[in-house]
Amino acid sequence: MEVPKYFSLLLAVFFILAGTFINADEREEPVDVIIALDKSLSMVEEIDAVKEYVRTAIIDQLLIPGDFLTVVAFFGKTQIPISAFLKTNKEKDNLSATISRIEADGRFTDIGHALDVLATELEKQSDPDRKKYLLLITDGKQEAPPESKYYSPDGSFNHEFLANTRVIQMKGWKIHVLGIGTDQAARELAEQLSGKYSEVSSEPTSEELAAKTEDFLGRVDLVGPLLLSRLTAQGKGKIRLSLASQGYKKREPIQLIIHRIKLSIPAKDFDNILTREYQFDLKPEEVTEIKIPIQVPDPPGKGEYQGTLEFFFASEEGFLPAVIPVNFQVRASFRIWFILAGGLILLALLTAAIVWALVAGKKIKIRFRLEIEGENIIKKEEIYTAREGKFLFIDQVEETITISAKRTTHSLAKLSVFKKLLRMSILKREFFPRLRDVPADLRGFTFQVRLENGSYLTAKLAAVEKS
């Protein structure tokens, strides 16, 4: 029996539509979406296309119930026409109507003040643990009014502005800057914010803007702690970190290119510790561990240091956060004249080495009890002993947590003894979403652990005195 041509055509249309439906965005996790919109006078010709883009691509197509939308309209001053949770899709018409009322009628362009205002607004209204996505749309450079703390005569980014961007970078916001026209200032702004930059034509359409932000919700995140190995006396070491990508529509590897890493410590900045440009690919929805060789020029002397690492990318995408706190050590530098020293000095060194070996042989031990707070019940586990040089692990087993001597797939954190302190290193950050800072000594500290089922346990490592 011959199939009618119109029936075959209907089948083809059906499968095309079905494929489109299957690949549609089915995001369930609510996020914070921030639109920073330049409404200065220079945006008069572009503002209608920008508003149409925000109404269709952002409000109609991207937002889902539970998202928090903040719209910051900035010029010499900053306005907040929208700052609200989207409860139902029916509210989208009201949001679109508010966007339609924005006009490009302001003097100056104070981007720094706009970032201040939106950061304050999010702190008041939003959950700090939610993922945040900032889309900044502008046609020009920072032109703050003279009374602004971000003012500079030549329109460059002053010290106050740069300090503000570092705070945002450390919070892990995904930032995308849409630069209208060919002004290099928007590209420089994206670099200062460690954000993605896309240039659009001087007379953009809503469709062009939407095409440039197709993967606005795509991001690469740091998973777990960043580790900087102990540096040699010559400044050589390695950075080890794990990354995961999510939210990209294209199921293709994400290419990242790190072209500079800045190390900052209280006394000094090292502008670039990267030995060479580092390039790698990330598979979608997978965790990838990378090791980056570094060289700190003229490194500081032996000791322990605290500072920050700031990553700069040559690729369209980068990972979040781009500014990361770091602790590291520098080994001692031994000079050749130590080897050629006289007999008395050598004898003194040998004697000191023997004494040190005897003292070091006495390993520090810390005894503690794991206390888990349940429903008006405190469950006291057995007494554990943490020893210097050996690790213990906090594991999740079924619906509780335990202490074990070996690391397994259930291990959430690592316990160690250092300088008579009980330290904890987080292995799986997602199970400690409410933990902001880990104290130097964990004894007596109460913390919460999120279980696989989404509930939380409150735990404490109580000190046990020697009997």
- The CATH number given to whatever domain includes residue 165 is 3.40.50.410
Together in a domain, 271 and 158: no
> What does R_g of the chain's alpha carbons equal in angstroms?
27
Residue 255 lies in a domain: yes
Q: Tell whether 223 and 208 lie within a shared domain.
A: no
User: 103 and 76 in one domain?
Assistant: yes
Q: Is residue 450 part of a domain?
A: yes
The verdict on 276 and 295 lying in the same domain is: yes
Assess whether pLDDT exceeds 90 at residue 127.
Answer: no
Pair (189, 249) in one structural domain: no
* Same-domain check for residues 429 and 389: yes
| 273 has a pLDDT exceeding 80 | yes
Claim to verify: residue 184 and residue 239 sit in the same structural domain: no
Residue type, 370: L
For CA atoms 295, 297, 298, 300, give the dihedral sign.
negative
Mean pLDDT of the chain: 84
CA distance 215 to 270: 33
- Tell me, rounded to whole angstroms, the distance of Cα 276 from its chain centroid: 23
Of 297, 438, 424, 280, nearest in space to 366 by CA: 424
Say whether both 184 and 294 belong to one domain: no
Can you tell me the distance from the alpha carbon of 200 to that of 38, in angstroms, rounded to the nearest whole number? 15
* Residue where a domain terminates, one of 212, 241, 267: 212
Residue 169: inside a domain, yes or no? yes
User: Any idea what the CATH number is for the domain that residue 259 is in?
Assistant: 2.60.40.10
**Count of C-beta atoms within a 10 Å radius of residue 425:** 13
Domain presence at residue 358:
no
Domains in the chain: how many in total?
3
304 and 229 assigned to the same domain: yes
Query: Do 203 and 262 share a structural domain?
Result: no
Residues 193 and 305 in one domain: no
Q: Is residue 313 part of a domain?
A: yes
Same-domain pairing of 228 and 195: no
* Domain annotation covers residue 18: no
Query: Which percentage of the chain shows pLDDT scores above 90?
Result: 48
What pLDDT, in 10s, does the model give residues 281-310? 998 888 999 999 999 999 999 999 999 999
Q: Domain containing 436: what range? A: 365-463
Instruction: Choose the most confident range, by mean pLDDT, from 4-8, 19-23, 91-95, 456-460.
Output: 91-95
Give me 77's structure tokens.
């001053």
Determine, yes or no, domain membership for 19.
Answer: no
